[in-house]
A and B are shown apart, each in its own frame.
Chain A
Amino acid sequence: MAVCIAVIAKENYPLYIRSTPMENELKFHYMVHTSLDVVDEKISAMGKALVDQRELYLGLLYPTEDYKVYGYVTNSKVKFVMVVDSSNTALRDNEIRSMFRKLHNSYTDVMCNPFYNPGDPIQSRAFDSMVTSMMIQVC
């Protein structure tokens, strides 16, 4: 359902990027990179505007002609960015939220793994399989 999923560390370098192998990956890397600016804007704007309840989920960052990009920030300033196909209109906000929840849960598990040093690229196979299950394309 999702076309590309990225986990970006606090210092704004990617810990994990996965995209469906059909398209060229560079395009997705670029999209994720540009979406970081939007994420930062949303985080800093929240300080001035009213503090809203569901502060972790950022929602739709920006739509392009083919894709929509969604963002989510954890309390430890790790960002999750998800790119979905625009043609998939059946995807609702709740589903995106639940996908981010699952991502966050898996990321927490990776963090608590004693063999993982925070700041390294994520190499856990459990995390990989969870991301693959979210990216299974029907076609």
Chain B
Amino acid sequence: MADEALFLLLHNEMVSGVYKSAEQGEVENGRCITKLENMGFRVGQGLIERFTKDTARFKDELDIMKFICKDFWTTVFKKQIDNLRTNHQGIYVLQDNKFRLLTQMSAGKQYLEHASKYLAFTCGLIRGGLSNLGIKSIVTAEVSSMPACKFKAH
């Protein structure tokens, strides 16, 4: 169980580290989120390469999204995505009701405005994974109440 805590704590420190270094330089808040997202992007690319080494080839986009929801999420966060919805025109919504990185923060509406910082890395993770599998996408996240959150990919 200790290894989950490792990543959680490292991730939290990473977010606060990026913001602290930004305070000395530029004050643009958007830049920090971009930095975190790009970090997640590169990590996602490498992770996907490792995870798809032994799996069979994917037939279509839906297959890829299912893989991300099940295997990828399980390996990274030790649980599956609770809900995947699509409009069959290229927009997929992944819903996680108990997002690992947010469970420690609050169980309701407190700290809602800070949640986006912590979700940027995961958005990049998904985007990097998809791009390595050949899908260009934009991933956004929204939180209505902790610790549930939705990731939208299109």
Residues of A near any B CB (own CB < 8 A): 10, 46-47, 51, 53-56, 73-77, 104-105, 107-108, 111-112, 114, 118
Count of chain A to chain B residue pairs whose CB atoms are closer than 8 Å in the complex: 48
Q: Is the CB of B55 within 8 A of A75?
A: yes
Q: Is the CB of A118 within 8 A of B45?
A: yes
A-B contact pairs, 30 of them (CB 8 A): A10-B134, A46-B57, A47-B59, A51-B56, A53-B56, A54-B56, A55-B56, A55-B57, A56-B57, A73-B57, A74-B49, A74-B52, A75-B48, A75-B53, A75-B55, A75-B57, A75-B58, A76-B133, A76-B134, A77-B133, A77-B134, A104-B53, A108-B46, A108-B49, A111-B46, A111-B49, A111-B50, A112-B49, A112-B50, A118-B45
For the complex, give the distance between the alpha carbons of A75 and B45 in Å. 12
Query: A47 CB to closest chain B CB, in angstroms?
Result: 7
Q: Is the CB of A75 within 8 A of B52?
A: yes
For the complex, give the distance between the alpha carbons of A118 and B131 in Å. 11
B46 and chain A: residue at smallest CB distance? A112
Asked if B80 lies at the interface with its beta carbon under 8 angstroms from chain A, I say no
Output the residue of B46, B50, B56, B57 with the most chain A CB within 10 A: B57
Q: Which residues of B contact A114 (CB under 8 A)?
A: 42
Q: Which residues of B contact A54 (CB under 8 A)?
A: 56
* Interface of chain B, main secondary structure: loop
Q: Which residues of A contact B46 (CB under 8 A)?
A: 108, 111-112
For the complex, give the distance between the alpha carbons of A56 and B57 in Å. 7
Q: Which residues of B contact A118 (CB under 8 A)?
A: 45, 132
Q: How many residues on chain B are close to A (CB under 8 Å)?
A: 16
B49 and chain A: residue at smallest CB distance? A111
For the complex, give the distance between the alpha carbons of A112 and B55 in Å. 18
Residues of B near any A CB (own CB < 8 A): 42, 45-46, 48-50, 52-53, 55-59, 132-134
Q: Is the CB of A108 within 8 A of B134?
A: no
Query: A94 CB to closest chain B CB, in angstroms?
Result: 17
Q: Which residues of B contact A56 (CB under 8 A)?
A: 56-57
For the complex, give the distance between the alpha carbons of A61 and B56 in Å. 20
Query: B82 CB to closest chain A CB, in angstroms?
Result: 25
Q: Is the CB of B133 within 8 A of A75?
A: yes
Q: Which residues of A contact B56 (CB under 8 A)?
A: 51, 53-56
Q: Is the CB of A76 within 8 A of B57?
A: no
Q: Is the CB of B59 within 8 A of A51?
A: yes
Query: B18 CB to closest chain A CB, in angstroms?
Result: 16
Query: B76 CB to closest chain A CB, in angstroms?
Result: 14
Q: Is the CB of A105 within 8 A of B45?
A: no
For the complex, give the distance between the alpha carbons of A105 and B50 in Å. 8
Q: Which residues of A contact B132 (CB under 8 A)?
A: 76, 118
B55 and chain A: residue at smallest CB distance? A75
A116 and chain B: residue at smallest CB distance? B46
